[in-house]
Amino acid sequence: MPYAKLGWAGSQPGDRAHGGLGIEYKFSDNWHATGEWTTDKKTNNGLEYKNSNFGIGLNYYFKAPKAAPVVAVAAAPVVVQKEPEPIVAPAPAPAPVVAPAPVPVPVAEPAPQPKESWKIIKEQKPVTIEGANFDFDSAKLRPTADAKLQPVVEFAKKYPDAGMNVHGHTDSIGTPAYNQKLSERRAASVKAYLVKHGIEASRITAKGFGETEHIADNKTEEGRAKNRRVEIHYTIITEKKIRVTE
């Protein structure tokens, strides 16, 4: 319960108005807690006198009025007499109805559903680095090989689980032993390129086959050019769910 005070104070340096604000909280019929702020101000001989007070109090009220108890009055029940209901003779029981015998309905067997199974599908992506991408009689890659090898680098980064096999091949010019070494050095050169561009060496297998696996006739210049090559084989292994009907 908020309240306000307004009165008159009589003290040095003279009488003056005295006012304030407060709040009272009732937590029982007799006990109340109060908190209030009062102030007054007076100017005398050019000096201003101001007095502010803040107080907290606990009040007890003697003979606090109590609310009269409320007595509930129950209403008397009203009894309504009913006339006796007429007695009705029971209706005769109906004759029993004989249900017809059920006719069996043939149940069609469900059609066999195709089963689903997982099948591993391997996709091979060979890339061939022709002999024109190497210096003559050398394993050093020319700048023209970048156009062939960059897609391989992009693929390897896209599919980090895919392994790669690098196979080196030569034509039949020279001794078989020399061609074997040259094919191995060219395969190793391609592997080094891929490792330099961020592919883990553990994913790459380099192997030379010399002149043993030619794909064209070594008797012509055109055929020998096709045989001087490095092939990069890499495999994508995927699992696809397909329907298999048994």
Reference 211, options 222, 221, 202, 224; nearest CA is 224
Which domain-ending residue is among 60, 76, 96?
60
Reference 26, options 2, 53, 54, 4; nearest CA is 2
Residue 128 shares a structural domain with residue 206: yes
CA–CA gap between residue 129 and residue 106 (Å, rounded):
69
Which domain-ending residue is among 36, 60, 84?
60
16 membership: H or E segment, kind and range: strand 14-26
Instruction: Say yes or no to pLDDT of 206 above 70.
Output: yes
| 140 within some domain | yes
| 79 within some domain | no
CA–CA gap between residue 204 and residue 187 (Å, rounded):
10
Q: Which residue has the higher pLDDT, 218 or 129?
A: 218
| 111 within some domain | no
Task: Tell me the three state secondary structure of residue 165.
Answer: strand
Q: How many helices and strands, by DSSP H and E, does the chain display? A: 3, 9
Average pLDDT over the chain, rounded to an integer: 79
The answer to whether the beta carbons of residues 244 and 116 sit under 8 Å apart is yes
- Tallying the residues shown for the chain, one arrives at 246
Residue 131 shares a structural domain with residue 28: no
User: What pLDDT score does 187 carry?
Assistant: 94
Q: What integer is the mean pLDDT of 222-238?
A: 83
Q: What integer is the mean pLDDT of 74-103?
A: 63
**pTM higher than 0.85 for the full model?**
no
User: What pLDDT score does 81 carry?
Assistant: 57
Which domain-ending residue is among 39, 60, 81?
60
Residue 49 shares a structural domain with residue 124: no
pLDDT digits (tens, 9 = 90+) for 33-64: 989 888 888 777 777 778 788 899 988 878 75
Q: Which residue has the higher pLDDT, 158 or 99?
A: 158
Q: Model confidence at 20, in pLDDT bands (50, 70, 90)?
A: confident
Range of the domain at 143: 119-244
